[in-house]
């Protein structure tokens, strides 16, 4: 039962955004930055954002060689260059909006590890550098000198390391906390603990049906942005989208840890970094693709054990460590690596399917969605 007051002030907006992950926050903030007079609200089903944005590894990255080469084969040169450029632009938006010191941004570079037993054509690095040169005016990927200690990795396993000089890392928790504070400061309302069940474009307005333990109500807006990433099939059942769960763990603090920055291997399927003196390690979806096509936040023991084995065998073989926490987050993938950004009807847009580098991408996608909605 809705009161007169609720109906008058609390349930009607200029723009509604579904999903308070980094993409939803970015979209809402871009709209408010462009027009501060608009009444904007975000609706989130979780108490916290409940997908990928508070679960990820905090790589502020635009690409790594083997993943870029796989994407090049899949998507072609133009689409790859566009995607890498959007990640870069998105990162600049994120950093400028929130401030490097507030998100603990560190320009550490990212490192892709190549193994002795891996098939890898070194000449392809030059091809990638040439493709990306017109955007960045520099060679993005550098081979690290072979006399380098390689951060203490077992040299019987690691053959070489390529550094992406433009990448860095952030503190994911700080970034999301800071984003919510920033959005609140702009006057954006965030409703949590309520799931959007359906939406309808009524021609001159949009209506969403919300459900929580207490409420089953409707909200109205002139415009709607759907930023529900892996969970989008509920609202957009025909979308080409598969969820992809990511397994993550973090160790205790390790004295004398040599890691500094972000590292990946196997086309980006595995990724690790230092968080102070701890090692955060995630990935391994390719060990068990089918099970990991899931929307459930559950640990996969096979993958988690594989992550621990990698740590013990060659990443930090010289250190004793314990696992302090394990968790999962859910990403969204499609037939290729491009996100799904579309005007669905007169008043409804969607920006979903953010893949594995959505921290970078979201700033740009939010800006594009805002432009689509406001024009």
Ligand X SMILES: Cc1cc2nc3c(=O)[nH]c(=O)nc-3n(C[C@H](O)[C@H](O)[C@H](O)COP(=O)(O)OP(=O)(O)OC[C@H]3O[C@@H](n4cnc5c(N)ncnc54)[C@H](O)[C@@H]3O)c2cc1C
Contact footprint for ligand X (CB under 6 A): 18-24, 43-46, 49-53, 55-59, 61, 195-196, 227-231, 234-235, 246, 248, 282, 329-331, 354, 356-360, 362
Cα angle: 38, vertex 42, 46; to 5 degrees: 170
Of 8 and 234, the one with the shorter C-beta distance to ligand X is 234
- The distance of closest approach from Cβ of residue 362 to ligand X in the complex, given in angstroms and rounded to an integer, is 6
- The distance of closest approach from Cβ of residue 216 to ligand X in the complex, given in angstroms and rounded to an integer, is 13
Of 24 and 261, the one with the shorter C-beta distance to ligand X is 24
- The distance of closest approach from Cβ of residue 156 to ligand X in the complex, given in angstroms and rounded to an integer, is 28
Of 176 and 316, the one with the shorter C-beta distance to ligand X is 176
Among the listed residues 312, 350, 313, the one whose alpha carbon sits nearest the alpha carbon of residue 334: 350
Among the listed residues 57, 37, 273, the one whose alpha carbon sits nearest the alpha carbon of residue 173: 57
- The distance of closest approach from Cβ of residue 146 to ligand X in the complex, given in angstroms and rounded to an integer, is 28
- The distance of closest approach from Cβ of residue 344 to ligand X in the complex, given in angstroms and rounded to an integer, is 15
> What sign does the dihedral 161-162-166-167 (CA atoms) show?
negative
Label residues 59-86 b or e (16+ Cβ within 10 Å = b).
bbbbbbbbbbbebbeebeeeebbebbbb
Please check whether residue 352 is in contact with residue 340, taking contact to mean a CB–CB distance below 8 angstroms. yes
Q: How many CB atoms lie within 10 A of CB 173?
A: 12
- The distance of closest approach from Cβ of residue 41 to ligand X in the complex, given in angstroms and rounded to an integer, is 12
Of 46 and 152, the one with the shorter C-beta distance to ligand X is 46
Of 98 and 235, the one with the shorter C-beta distance to ligand X is 235
Of 102 and 328, the one with the shorter C-beta distance to ligand X is 328
- The distance of closest approach from Cβ of residue 267 to ligand X in the complex, given in angstroms and rounded to an integer, is 14
Of 43 and 80, the one with the shorter C-beta distance to ligand X is 43
Of 159 and 207, the one with the shorter C-beta distance to ligand X is 207
Residue 308 to residue 185: CA distance in whole angstroms:
42
Q: How many CB atoms lie within 10 A of CB 38?
A: 19
Q: How many CB atoms lie within 10 A of CB 211?
A: 14
Please check whether residue 198 is in contact with residue 214, taking contact to mean a CB–CB distance below 8 angstroms. no
CA distances for 124 relative to 64, 73, 79, 141, angstroms: 12, 12, 17, 11
Q: How many CB atoms lie within 10 A of CB 225?
A: 29
Tokens of 147: 């006399």
- The distance of closest approach from Cβ of residue 351 to ligand X in the complex, given in angstroms and rounded to an integer, is 7
Tokens of 120: 């890898």
Of 261 and 329, the one with the shorter C-beta distance to ligand X is 329
- The distance of closest approach from Cβ of residue 325 to ligand X in the complex, given in angstroms and rounded to an integer, is 13
Among the listed residues 236, 265, 67, the one whose alpha carbon sits nearest the alpha carbon of residue 161: 265
């Amino acid at each position: 039962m809705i009161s007169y007051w609720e109906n008058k002030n609390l349930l009607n907006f200029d723009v509604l955004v579904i999903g308070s992950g980094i993409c939803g926050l970015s979209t809402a903030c871009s709209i408010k930055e462009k027009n501060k007079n608009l009444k904007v609200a975000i609706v989130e089903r979780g108490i916290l954002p409940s997908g990928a944005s508070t679960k990820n590894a905090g790589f502020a990255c635009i690409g790594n060689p083997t993943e870029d080469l796989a994407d090049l084969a899949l998507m072609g040169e133009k689409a790859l260059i566009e995607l890498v450029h959007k990640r870069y632009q998105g990162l600049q938006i994120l950093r400028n909006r929130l401030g490097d010191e507030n998100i603990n941004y560190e320009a550490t570079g990212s490192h892709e590890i190549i193994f002795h037993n891996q098939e890898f054509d070194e000449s392809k690095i030059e091809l990638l550098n040439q493709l990306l040169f017109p955007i960045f005016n520099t060679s993005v990927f550098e081979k690290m000198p072979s006399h380098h200690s390689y951060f203490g990795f077992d040299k019987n396993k690691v053959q070489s390391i390529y550094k992406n000089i433009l990448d860095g890392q952030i503190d994911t928790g700080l970034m999301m906390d800071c984003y919510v504070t920033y959005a609140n400061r702009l006057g954006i309302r965030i409703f949590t603990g309520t799931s959007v069940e359906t939406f309808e474009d009524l021609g001159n307005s949009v209506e969403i049906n919300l459900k929580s333990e207490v409420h089953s109500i409707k909200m109205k807006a002139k415009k709607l942005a759907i930023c529900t990433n892996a969970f989008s099939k509920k609202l957009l059942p025909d979308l080409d989208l598969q969820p992809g769960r990511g397994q993550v763990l973090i160790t205790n603090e390790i004295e004398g840890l040599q890691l500094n920055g972000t590292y990946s291997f196997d086309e980006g399927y595995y990724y690790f970094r230092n968080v102070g003196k701890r090692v955060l390690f995630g990935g391994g979806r390719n060990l068990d693709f089918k099970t990991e096509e899931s929307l459930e936040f559950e640990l996969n023991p096979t993958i988690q054990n594989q992550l621990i084995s990698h740590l013990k065998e060659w990443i930090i073989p010289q250190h004793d460590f314990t696992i302090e926490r394990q968790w999962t987050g859910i990403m969204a993938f499609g037939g290729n690596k491009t996100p799904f950004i579309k005007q669905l009807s007169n008043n409804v847009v969607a920006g979903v399917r953010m893949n594995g580098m959505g921290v970078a991408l979201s700033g740009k996608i939010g800006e594009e969605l805002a432009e689509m909605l406001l024009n």
